[in-house]
Amino acid sequence: MHAPARPIDNIVVHSVLDDGTAVCLRTIRPDDAGLLRAGIQKLSAESRYLRFFSPAPAMPDAVIERLVDVDGHDHIAWGAICTECEGEPAIGAVHAVRHKAGAGGDEMRVGEYSIAILDAFHGQGLARMMTAALLVDCLAEGLTTLDVNILSENHAALGLVKAMGGTRKEESRGVAEYVIDVAAALEALRSDLGARGVQDVLKQLGAG
């Protein structure tokens, strides 16, 4: 049984990328498996490797099922669609998955962050837009800290995490581990007044 829809699940955020391309953002739903699968197949081998640590052209069904197994609380996810592209394809997705409860059974306020964007839309502000939406949602659902594991060669992701004030924990076998304070990261994105897309996201989600 799927989790009941939340008010934020009915919001579709409309904005434009830095180059003027029209996009919309919304929460990912369980019936988005086809969109995500098609999007992953359009990633370059390098981008698939940086996101999934594997260059395989297609992800196993089990991976797709996990990506759309979204309940809005333990698994929060937002996707972006190019509204002016033919067929309105999915062009990016961002996830936060809550860690399992501790030994005492208390609900964890820490999750894991991940993001992927089609190569053609890199460097256009989309990562910050989607992440801003995700962070607003995380705070509403009591997720206050996000872990992120990044391949050390993924300079774009490292730059984003550092821009949000991410704190480096350690690096092992080429994977760097960072911790993001959700409230501080959201404030860092909000403070970038030149990021029109982020400001649109925050305004339309009532967090501007």
Name the token pair of 82. 């190019």
Q: What is the pTM of this model?
A: 0.92
pLDDT tens per residue, range 60-95: 888 899 999 999 999 999 999 999 999 999 999 999
* Contacts of residue 171, Cβ cutoff 8 Å, sequence gap at least 6: 152, 177
Q: What local confidence, expressed as pLDDT, does residue 2 receive?
A: 57
List per-residue pLDDT tens for the chain, 208 residues long: 456 679 999 999 999 999 999 999 999 998 999 999 999 999 998 998 888 877 777 778 888 999 999 999 999 999 999 999 999 999 999 999 999 876 566 789 999 999 999 999 999 999 999 999 999 999 999 999 999 999 988 999 999 999 999 999 877 778 999 999 999 999 999 998 778 999 999 999 999 7
Here the tokens at position 156 are 């774009």
Name the one residue in this structure whose structure tokens are 């594997």.
54
Q: What is the DSSP string of the chain?
A: -PPPPPGGGG--EEEE-TT--EEEEEE--GGGHHHHHHHHHHS-HHHHHHHHS---SS--HHHHHHHH---SSSEEEEEEEETTSTT--EEEEEEEEEPPP-TT-PPP-EEEEEEEE-GGGTTSSHHHHHHHHHHHHHHHTT--EEEEEEETT-HHHHHHHHHTT-EEEEEETTEEEEEEEHHHHHHHHHT-TT-HHHHHHHHHTT--
Cα 133 from chain centroid (whole Å): 8
pLDDT for 173 equals 78
